[in-house]
Amino acid sequence: MDKFPKRKYIRLQDYDYSNPGYYYITICTHNRKELFGEIKNNQIILNKFGIIIDKIWKEIPNHYSDIELDTYIIMPNHIHGIIKINNPVGDGHAHPVNKSNNIPTMIGSFKSAVSKQIRKSENNSFKWQRFFYDHHIRTTNSLNNIRKYILANPMNWDNDENNIKNNKVTGQACLTPTG
């Protein structure tokens, strides 16, 4: 009998997460603890931890070539964002995509950098949820719907499934719509 439950593999088994395209990401705090700010008048008011996340999120393209950030929002206990992996432009010959520019590597690095900064600033017990949600966006219609969802997230906080007040189960994966 295993001491620990088996990890559920949540990535698509045969998908290359360094492929060019748009990716929708949701990352939650451990047990959905509200640490990044609060919603007031349907807007997120970031605290110092939320500001750290905002700064580090905006720095992602500085660390990964061929990456662009699209729409994102930092909520009290999670972040939604769209990351675009571009097709590299070369001198007319095929260029291989940088395999370190893959979603799991980028998000792992982002989570690590945020954790280090927040722990250094004062919250030594800060933890992210173990997993994150991702969705490869395949159509323009889906991209636009996800952008609208992200931007409307603060206005829908009272009904948001990631709002711990709406979900009694802690430790469950972030909930998010697919588009």
Answer whether residue 172 is part of any domain: no
Map 45-71 to HEC letters.
EECHHHHHHHHHHHCHHHHCCCEEEEE
Answer whether residue 134 is part of any domain: yes
Q: What is the pLDDT of residues 33-44, one digit of tens each?
A: 999 999 999 999
Q: What is the pLDDT of residues 96-126, one digit of tens each?
A: 445 567 899 999 999 999 999 998 887 678 8
What pTM did the predictor assign? 0.81
Owning domain of residue 58: 21-166
Answer whether residue 58 is part of any domain: yes
Map 71-126 to HEC letters.
EEEECCCEEEEEEEECCCCCCCCCCCCCCCCCHHHHHHHHHHHHHHHHHHHCCCCC
Answer whether residue 3 is part of any domain: no
Residue 64's identity, in one-letter code, is Y
Query: How large a percentage of the chain has pLDDT more than 90?
Result: 60
Number of domains in the chain: 1
Answer whether residue 100 is part of any domain: yes
CATH number of the domain enclosing 136: 3.30.70.1290
